Structure 1
């Protein structure tokens, strides 16, 4: 393990060990201070967040974008502070910390025994939403986790999410797809964060008027297993309770090839995500490149760097 990886793993370990022991107001205040310091430094993540938000709110002035990115960093750190503390929360605390609208879409889908796929963007605290599902509804589910470096950090995340009642599969090529399909055919629940493609096989969509790629998995699983695909959006307000909305199931098109159906359903998913993000842009934690134009720009920058060396 490199020195950088050791430091990264150590910092996350310190967060899990220390933050969960702090009084709630102290942890919240610490998160805000860390967010504000990071925002003032104007590092790559903050600049990328502002660039992404500029597409979400195209008519925003530079001052408005700065306000949104500052609020976005505070929202992002709230996610981390909550996540570090989630394992210590009681069932009652977890159940009372999330208030989703239209949850009947989920309960009705679960009662159908067809299998259910919940697809979410990187909004609010998706771990808290997952804990609410396992503790308030008493429903276990399967999810997929991105392979992180160092490996020890990935292991920490897997152990953390498994302690919250989730079955966690590694995102390694298409290896997880078969297991997810089996869970759905058995009438189970699968939850996937699905607004950023981590493979080379994503579906091209129009997202806030520009081309991006999103994972094909949710739509393909729905087609292959007959499971219901429900988008979910999350956000914070001025209270201690996270808000959310369970959207109506997305229909599988009646005609077209499998690829055409996958494209149509993924675009429909992107449209629902866009609506939720537009309403609460500060709670969309997208600090990475997402749009194809930005990804192509990065490739060009790498090529220029290689030529200089």
Structure 2
């Protein structure tokens, strides 16, 4: 009888191989490898590709099937570019990091930090937020705090934490609301917090209208801004035909003048969703959402689960 392989250990091993091997490749070779892996995954037409195309159909509702297929192929190439770059980031020189990201309107971030109020940067799953983060720590010389969802196996989570801490980030585990107090303290001290914030299917997620339909996004960015007085700045990222990551820091999302704290948080989260939507609509191929997001996509599965229980 053959020896059974633990899927968790296999996944951890594959990521470890990526971090150890890909970072040693010449940049052009790594980029070509990423494109080849992306095209192979796209041709297999797995569930992730089908979900990506279904999500893109909401972003580009008038797209033909051929256009959606082209977008999903470009999307997979963008997604694998993110991974190839992330594997190689620890080997990049400070000069390469500084040149690797060219954001627009970064003055919103610089002015917010100079004000001493603290800043919450909120991003969707676009482009390469790891590269944008290490650019902040390297180019601007500003440390920041973020959270990471606990992964299985634990060794894989430890790899991600060590990787991001090695890039100058403080990483907190995303375990319920335990990280909120630490994030709030960092902001009250005038610090920077960066959060990926375009998907939250938990009970605490806030419903928003996103490309015309209801989705849920995390309450954390808005609640942190409300609790601490920090600025809430959306950021969107994308690639173009150059070797560099592009991005935009959007203007501050203001706190509504009226309403309860919950109502204010809901209004701010909707404004955040609108900012994300504007960036995603401009660069849909760089939005790496290969999972269910809109509540309408979850309802049939929930109904089926209810029938199974009955």
Same fold (TM over 0.5): yes
Q: Give the count of matched residue pairs.
A: 307
- Using the TM superposition, give the Cα deviation of residue 200 of structure 1 relative to its aligned residue in structure 2, in angstroms: 1.9
Asked whether 1:260 is paired with 2:237, we answer: no
With structure 2 as the length reference, what TM-score do the two structures score?
0.97
- Using the TM superposition, give the Cα deviation of residue 199 of structure 1 relative to its aligned residue in structure 2, in angstroms: 2.8
Q: Distance in 2 between matches of 1:24 and 1:91?
A: 16
Of stretches 291-300 and 165-174 in structure 1, the one that deviates more from structure 2 is 291-300
Aligned residue in 1 for 2:124 = 121
Aligned residue in 2 for 1:15 = 18
Q: Distance in 2 between matches of 1:19 and 1:225?
A: 41
Relative to structure 1, is the Cα distance of residues 147 and 180 closer, same or farther in structure 2, using a 3 angstrom cutoff?
Answer: same
- Using the TM superposition, give the Cα deviation of residue 306 of structure 1 relative to its aligned residue in structure 2, in angstroms: 6.0
- Using the TM superposition, give the Cα deviation of residue 302 of structure 1 relative to its aligned residue in structure 2, in angstroms: 3.9
Aligned residue in 2 for 1:78 = 81
In structure 1, which of residues 182, 186, 191 is the aligned counterpart of residue 194 of structure 2?
Answer: 191
Aligned residue in 2 for 1:271 = 274
In structure 1, which of residues 6, 10, 24 is the aligned counterpart of residue 9 of structure 2?
Answer: 6
Q: Distance in 2 between matches of 1:193 and 1:305?
A: 34
Relative to structure 1, is the Cα distance of residues 85 and 304 closer, same or farther in structure 2, using a 3 angstrom cutoff?
Answer: farther
Contact 2:201 2:216 in 1 (8 A): no
Aligned residue in 1 for 2:101 = 98
Q: Distance in 1 between matches of 2:195 and 2:201?
A: 12
Q: Distance in 1 between matches of 2:158 and 2:304?
A: 32
Secondary structure at 1:218 match in 2: helix
In structure 1, which of residues 196, 204, 208 is the aligned counterpart of residue 207 of structure 2?
Answer: 204
Contact 1:34 1:77 in 2 (8 A): yes
- Using the TM superposition, give the Cα deviation of residue 297 of structure 1 relative to its aligned residue in structure 2, in angstroms: 2.5
Within 5 Å, give how 1:142-221 maps onto structure 2: 142-197=145-200, 199-221=202-224
Aligned residue in 1 for 2:47 = 44
Of stretches 256-265 and 291-300 in structure 1, the one that deviates more from structure 2 is 291-300
- Using the TM superposition, give the Cα deviation of residue 296 of structure 1 relative to its aligned residue in structure 2, in angstroms: 1.8
- Using the TM superposition, give the Cα deviation of residue 303 of structure 1 relative to its aligned residue in structure 2, in angstroms: 4.4
With structure 1 as the length reference, what TM-score do the two structures score?
0.97
- Ranges in structure 1 where 5+ consecutive residues have no aligned partner: none
Contact 2:78 2:286 in 1 (8 A): yes
- Using the TM superposition, give the Cα deviation of residue 150 of structure 1 relative to its aligned residue in structure 2, in angstroms: 1.3
- Ranges in structure 2 where 5+ consecutive residues have no aligned partner: none
Secondary structure at 1:287 match in 2: coil
Q: Distance in 2 between matches of 1:294 and 1:31?
A: 30
Secondary structure at 2:216 match in 1: strand
Q: What per-residue deviation string (whole Å, max 9, x for no partner) do you get for residues 174-216 of structure 1?
A: 0000000000000000000000115320100000000000000
